[in-house]
Chains A and B, each alone.
Chain A
Amino acid sequence: MIADTQITDVALAKQLGLTAQEYDFICRKLERKPNYAELGICSAMYSEHCSYKSSKPHLRKLPTQGPRVLQGPGENAGAIDIGEGWAVIFKMESHNHPSFIEPYQGAATGVGGILRDVFTMGARPIASMNGLCFGSETNPVTHGLVRGVVKGIGDYGNCVGVPTVAGQTFFHPCYNGNNLVNAFTAGLVRHENIFRASASGVGNILVYAGAKTGRDGVHGATMASKEFSSEKEPERPTVQVGDPFTEKLLLEATLEAMQKGLIQSIQDMGAAGLTSSSFEMADRAKTGLHLNLDKIPSREHGMSAYELLLSESQERMLIVTQEDKFDGLKAVFDKWDLDAEIIGVITEGKKVTMTYKGETVVDMPVDLVANPPMAERPLSAPSDLKQLWFMDRNQLMVAPLQQKIDRLLDTINFADPTPLTQQYDSMVGNRTEGGTFDDAAVLRLREIKSKPLRLAFSTDCNPRICQLDPREGGRRAIVESALNLAVRGATPIGVTDCLNFGNPENPEVMWRFSESVEGIAEACEALKVPVVSGNVSLYNDTDSRPIYPTPMIGMVGLIEGEQKLPYSNFFGTELELAIIGNLEASLGGSQLAYQWFKRDCGQPAATDLPASQRMIKFLGQLAKKNMAYAAHDISEGGLVVAALEMAFRSPYPETGVEIQIPSRIEIDEVLFGETCPRVLLAYAPENRVEIETLCSRSAVKFNKIGNTTDKAKFKVTQGLAVLSDMSVSTVKETWQNKWKGFFN
């Protein structure tokens, strides 16, 4: 007999975020009304955040198969074979809403969550990245958000001892009131040590391990499924506080217990806490569970069943093991000063029952909770796309070049991120190679002795393009991430995505979502990189204005064998420069267009996927030649920004650039166009022939465009005309100082 002290009705269900139809569905399946705790379980598990009810049908379009895939989407993280019996485990996840309410703790617990997703799979985390989007720099709240988020990420990752090695930061007014914090972590594991989250083996016990449960974050999942409004204070559950120290202990205890064979299966308690971890583990194994909530280690008095089930206290795990292994398991957790308690047992019958204080408080079919009905979301193409695509090309054409360059660079999006990146420990683990915070970070895998192997990591997304043409935005995020890896000599092997969008009940948002996913799918298929994990964050709106679609991509690449890493800067003052790819590129959706017209405009040109694939292959082969060269992909800000960044990072302060634009070629398109794929290459003149030969053999275009100089000038010429001749050091100083203001 189920305890029915608290009667529920539709009104209460609605308060908890369920629809009337959903409530009705639950009552029919149960053949009775759910009690309060059961309703809470459903409200969390039916939320967008946990159920993916709007996005799941679209996500099926993503390619998830491939010869290297050991684990695709569906587990805590994806797994890709890297050879020698080893695998890389990775995932990216959003913590947008919590980071807006409390930037420091929100970002910190975001890092904590993604770390747990990776070590739950048995992998030792070796690298983290983050993708951040903030509102306008002139918005007074932006500075506090940047400071809090960056400190939160740093304090958590630094303390646990996982290096933060790359990332992306983008400022745009569309994120005023709804910033994005996407955290990526990758870990290493031997194939045979990969753990999965499945509650199999009737009679096996369920063990609660890690930090104690408090009331923090009760209903966090439902909050992440609501939009913010500046009018009314959003519902604020108690903010979860991250404890990186406990996380580090949990990491070590978990890996040690796994290595000693004391764990059969394991899942972290993330969004919707014990509820989602228990129901999901039972669902995967097609078993049932019985839990005794009295056994849960709690740190607050008088917690109700509802609170125990929906608490989002951090740093907790749910472990399945055989009863006779419990003593060993407990000894390991004792060693690390952590709790471990038996809280339940696996049963037959695909049902979860829970008792608390002598009463049965939950009695529900697993399927009802774990597989809620999907939501049918209508799609419709925005009516204003044609207007967005209009760009007054003539107005640009007649403006003097120097003025365009000056405006292009006059943005916080063109800034040296060092003041930020120095707050992250990028070296702990002793794997990080070369300059970190280049296009992609490269880590040697010191634990693999049989063969030199390195992994490369990059993250990318261009929200402007996604807004103007979401399908192209999806494609470009993939291709640019892949190029970021390829310019360092790495072969892309796997993708994780974090899809940040607005309210899915808005058909235009859903259309953009669907288009983006299809763009990602097209590009992944063309490049033959599978998506093995990901995350969706919807309801990123303020006052019904959605953010730009932001499908943030995290990509992993592999470097096999001994090869020198290419430079990512101008490593000399007598180098030749060439664009690999087309000389001219479209200004649609470019940084210049935004900086000039003060709005994102123009129609972005489509990425040539076959050409991208050839270019990636070419870059891979070039890296194997052990020739000294530098490579940098051309993206936001076009050739001008790419060349300046390479000059700024030169070891010689006198390094300058001269770009010679051939006659009858559109100057703006060469300098500012952003069509993908294009890469800027710098090499010693004597290597030109070899590079050109490889280009023609690889069917990629080679366009010599200029050279480096020792004049410390950024110079553009066409024929005899000097179109720009500006001091590199002056621009560099401005570039270096922009971010300092955030951290003073």
Chain B
Amino acid sequence: MKVGVITYPGSNCDDDAVYTLQETCGWQTDRLWHKDTPSLSEYKLLVLPGGFSYGDYLRCGAMAALSPIMENVKAFADAGGYVLGICNGFQVLCEAGLLPGALAKNDSLRFVCKDVDLKVETNDSPWTNFLKAGDTLSLPIAHGDGRYIIEESDFAQMRGRHQILLTYQNNPNGSAFDVAGVCNEKKNVFGLMPHPERASDLRSRNGMGVWRSIQSVLEKA
């Protein structure tokens, strides 16, 4: 199974993602460069990693969302391809319009790095089918701009469609409705602020739940 990790200028969790996908999950992992526009059809999964693309200048993820490769990523997602955005990758997906909502500065105005308890809202998704709805999942966060913003009506609709996958048990950043991770309507695009790739072998193995979930879907596909 072949997966791709995109590097933007300023991405800094791309190595961590590659390490986890390749060494821990055992998937063949290619690095993709934001300026290139390769055919993505050979990939089962694309990962937009964490970091500070373009230094988080202007707005997190805004400039990366306009990278040349993003046209291809959009086409890939439109065709039903699986796309995961972690932390800065989540911000890029929102800025690119592949996920609803937006991410703003934490209400504490501070960067925060710690383990947080998440609630698995639903397992009716390719990203959480290995988990149990209602379970607690502890994953690390490390961000300064993780406050998810969404209108109440949109939230209600997304919730009804099982698009809200993860919420915080103790909201660390002021996210609306405690949202930590959401997917699009088709559920093939998922973004989350916590870092499953930092919790897949060393600090804990809690992140494996996400990888096992998507693996089962990709293997069937």
User: Do A and B touch each other in the complex, judged by CB within 8 A?
Assistant: yes
Interface size for B (C-beta < 8 A) is 30
User: Is the beta-carbon distance between A159 and B113 smaller than 8 angstroms?
Assistant: no
User: Is the beta-carbon distance between A245 and B54 smaller than 8 angstroms?
Assistant: yes
Interface size for A (C-beta < 8 A) is 31
B22 to chain A, nearest CB (A): 11
Chain A residues within an 8 Å CB radius of B142: 158, 425, 427-428
The reply to whether the CB of A471 lies closer than 8 angstroms to some CB of chain B is no
- Subset of 7 A-B contacts with CB under 8 Å: A245-B10, A245-B55, A248-B12, A422-B114, A427-B198, A433-B203, A446-B23
Please measure, in the bound complex, the distance between the C-alpha atom of A664 and the C-alpha atom of B95, giving whole angstroms.
Answer: 71
Chain B residues within an 8 Å CB radius of A244: 52, 55
B14 to chain A, nearest CB (A): 9
User: Is the beta-carbon distance between B10 and A422 smaller than 8 angstroms?
Assistant: no
8 A Cβ contacts from A34-92 to B = none
User: Is the beta-carbon distance between A423 and B112 smaller than 8 angstroms?
Assistant: yes
8 A Cβ contacts from B40-58 to A = 50-52, 54-57
- Closest 10 interchain pairs by CB? A161-B12, A245-B55, A430-B16, A159-B52, A425-B142, A425-B113, A423-B111, A427-B198, A245-B10, A422-B114
Please measure, in the bound complex, the distance between the C-alpha atom of A159 and the C-alpha atom of B50, giving whole angstroms.
Answer: 10
Chain A residues within an 8 Å CB radius of B202: 430-433, 444
Name A residues whose Cβ lies closer than 8 Å to a Cβ of B.
Answer: 151, 154-155, 158-161, 243-246, 248-249, 335-337, 422-433, 444, 446, 743
Chain B residues within an 8 Å CB radius of A248: 9-10, 12, 52, 55
User: Is the beta-carbon distance between B55 and A428 smaller than 8 angstroms?
Assistant: no
8 A Cβ contacts from B41-77 to A = 50-52, 54-57
Known interface pairs A159-B10, A159-B56, A161-B51; A430-B112 also in contact (CB < 8 Å): no
The reply to whether the CB of B155 lies closer than 8 angstroms to some CB of chain A is no
Chain A residues within an 8 Å CB radius of B113: 158, 422-427
Chain A residues within an 8 Å CB radius of B54: 245
Nearest B-chain residue to A247, judged by Cβ: B55
Chain A residues within an 8 Å CB radius of B165: none
Chain A residues within an 8 Å CB radius of B19: 430, 446
A419 to chain B, nearest CB (A): 9
Chain B residues within an 8 Å CB radius of A422: 110, 112-114
Nearest B-chain residue to A245, judged by Cβ: B55
Nearest A-chain residue to B13, judged by Cβ: A428
User: Is the beta-carbon distance between A429 and B16 smaller than 8 angstroms?
Assistant: yes
User: Is the beta-carbon distance between B16 and A245 smaller than 8 angstroms?
Assistant: no
Contact partner of A160 (CB less than 8 A), chosen from B12, B50, B57, is B12
User: Is the beta-carbon distance between A245 and B57 smaller than 8 angstroms?
Assistant: yes
Chain A residues within an 8 Å CB radius of B140: 427
The reply to whether the CB of B135 lies closer than 8 angstroms to some CB of chain A is no
Can you name 12 extra interface pairs (CB under 8 A) apart from A422-B110, A427-B113, A430-B16?
A151-B110, A158-B52, A245-B10, A245-B56, A337-B9, A423-B112, A424-B111, A425-B111, A427-B195, A428-B142, A429-B15, A432-B202
Chain A residues within an 8 Å CB radius of B56: 159, 245
Chain B residues within an 8 Å CB radius of A159: 10, 12, 52, 55-56
User: Is the beta-carbon distance between B112 and A245 smaller than 8 angstroms?
Assistant: no
B10 to chain A, nearest CB (A): 5
The reply to whether the CB of B91 lies closer than 8 angstroms to some CB of chain A is no
Chain B residues within an 8 Å CB radius of A431: 202
| B198-221 contact mask (Cβ, 8 Å, vs A): 1 or 0 | 100011000000000000000000
Nearest A-chain residue to B16, judged by Cβ: A430
8 A Cβ contacts from B77-103 to A = none
Please measure, in the bound complex, the distance between the C-alpha atom of A253 and the C-alpha atom of B51, giving whole angstroms.
Answer: 17
Known interface pairs A430-B16, A432-B203; A161-B52 also in contact (CB < 8 Å): yes
Chain B residues within an 8 Å CB radius of A432: 202-203
Please measure, in the bound complex, the distance between the C-alpha atom of A429 and the C-alpha atom of B144, giving whole angstroms.
Answer: 18
Please measure, in the bound complex, the distance between the C-alpha atom of A154 and the C-alpha atom of B108, giving whole angstroms.
Answer: 15
User: Is the beta-carbon distance between A428 and B12 smaller than 8 angstroms?
Assistant: yes
Q: Which of B19, B113, B142, B203 has the most CB of A within 10 A?
A: B113
User: Is the beta-carbon distance between B203 and A249 smaller than 8 angstroms?
Assistant: no
Q: Which of A248, A428, A446 has the most CB of B within 10 A?
A: A428
User: Is the beta-carbon distance between B110 and A423 smaller than 8 angstroms?
Assistant: yes
Contact partner of A336 (CB less than 8 A), chosen from B9, B144, B197, is B9
User: Is the beta-carbon distance between B55 and A154 smaller than 8 angstroms?
Assistant: no
B96 to chain A, nearest CB (A): 20
User: Is the beta-carbon distance between A430 and B9 smaller than 8 angstroms?
Assistant: no
User: Is the beta-carbon distance between B13 and A158 smaller than 8 angstroms?
Assistant: no
Q: Which of A243, A249, A427 has the most CB of B within 10 A?
A: A427
B33 to chain A, nearest CB (A): 8
The reply to whether the CB of B20 lies closer than 8 angstroms to some CB of chain A is yes
Chain A residues within an 8 Å CB radius of B52: 158-159, 161, 244-245, 248
Chain B residues within an 8 Å CB radius of A429: 15-16
Chain A residues within an 8 Å CB radius of B9: 245, 248-249, 336-337
Please measure, in the bound complex, the distance between the C-alpha atom of A337 and the C-alpha atom of B13, giving whole angstroms.
Answer: 20
A626 to chain B, nearest CB (A): 18
Q: Which of A248, A335, A423, A425 has the most CB of B within 10 A?
A: A425
Chain B residues within an 8 Å CB radius of A337: 9
Chain B residues within an 8 Å CB radius of A424: 111, 113
User: Is the beta-carbon distance between A428 and B10 smaller than 8 angstroms?
Assistant: no
Chain B residues within an 8 Å CB radius of A249: 9-10
User: Is the beta-carbon distance between A155 and B111 smaller than 8 angstroms?
Assistant: yes
Chain B residues within an 8 Å CB radius of A154: 111
8 A Cβ contacts from B143-163 to A = 144
A169 to chain B, nearest CB (A): 17
A740 to chain B, nearest CB (A): 11
A157 to chain B, nearest CB (A): 10
Chain A residues within an 8 Å CB radius of B16: 428-430
User: Is the beta-carbon distance between A743 and B110 smaller than 8 angstroms?
Assistant: yes
8 A Cβ contacts from B105-120 to A = 110-114
Chain A residues within an 8 Å CB radius of B55: 159, 243-246, 248
Please measure, in the bound complex, the distance between the C-alpha atom of A433 and the C-alpha atom of B57, giving whole angstroms.
Answer: 31
Please measure, in the bound complex, the distance between the C-alpha atom of A187 and the C-alpha atom of B10, giving whole angstroms.
Answer: 19
Please measure, in the bound complex, the distance between the C-alpha atom of A244 and the C-alpha atom of B114, giving whole angstroms.
Answer: 22
Nearest A-chain residue to B195, judged by Cβ: A427
User: Is the beta-carbon distance between B198 and A430 smaller than 8 angstroms?
Assistant: yes
Chain A residues within an 8 Å CB radius of B197: 430
Please measure, in the bound complex, the distance between the C-alpha atom of A77 and the C-alpha atom of B5, giving whole angstroms.
Answer: 33
Please measure, in the bound complex, the distance between the C-alpha atom of A368 and the C-alpha atom of B70, giving whole angstroms.
Answer: 55
Please measure, in the bound complex, the distance between the C-alpha atom of A336 and the C-alpha atom of B54, giving whole angstroms.
Answer: 11
Chain A residues within an 8 Å CB radius of B13: 161, 428
Nearest B-chain residue to A147, judged by Cβ: B110
User: Is the beta-carbon distance between B51 and A430 smaller than 8 angstroms?
Assistant: no
Please measure, in the bound complex, the distance between the C-alpha atom of A245 and the C-alpha atom of B60, giving whole angstroms.
Answer: 12
Nearest B-chain residue to A418, judged by Cβ: B114
Chain B residues within an 8 Å CB radius of A335: 35
User: Is the beta-carbon distance between B111 and A158 smaller than 8 angstroms?
Assistant: yes
Nearest B-chain residue to A447, judged by Cβ: B19
Please measure, in the bound complex, the distance between the C-alpha atom of A447 and the C-alpha atom of B10, giving whole angstroms.
Answer: 21
Chain B residues within an 8 Å CB radius of A426: 113
Nearest B-chain residue to A433, judged by Cβ: B202
Please measure, in the bound complex, the distance between the C-alpha atom of A249 and the C-alpha atom of B12, giving whole angstroms.
Answer: 11
Please measure, in the bound complex, the distance between the C-alpha atom of A244 and the C-alpha atom of B10, giving whole angstroms.
Answer: 9
Please measure, in the bound complex, the distance between the C-alpha atom of A425 and the C-alpha atom of B110, giving whole angstroms.
Answer: 12
8 A Cβ contacts from B169-221 to A = 195, 197-198, 202-203
Nearest A-chain residue to B53, judged by Cβ: A245
| B6-42 contact mask (Cβ, 8 Å, vs A): 1 or 0 | 0001101101100110010000000000010000000
Chain A residues within an 8 Å CB radius of B12: 159-161, 248, 428
Chain A residues within an 8 Å CB radius of B57: 245
Please measure, in the bound complex, the distance between the C-alpha atom of A335 and the C-alpha atom of B8, giving whole angstroms.
Answer: 11
Chain B residues within an 8 Å CB radius of A423: 110-113
B65 to chain A, nearest CB (A): 16
Please measure, in the bound complex, the distance between the C-alpha atom of A248 and the C-alpha atom of B23, giving whole angstroms.
Answer: 25
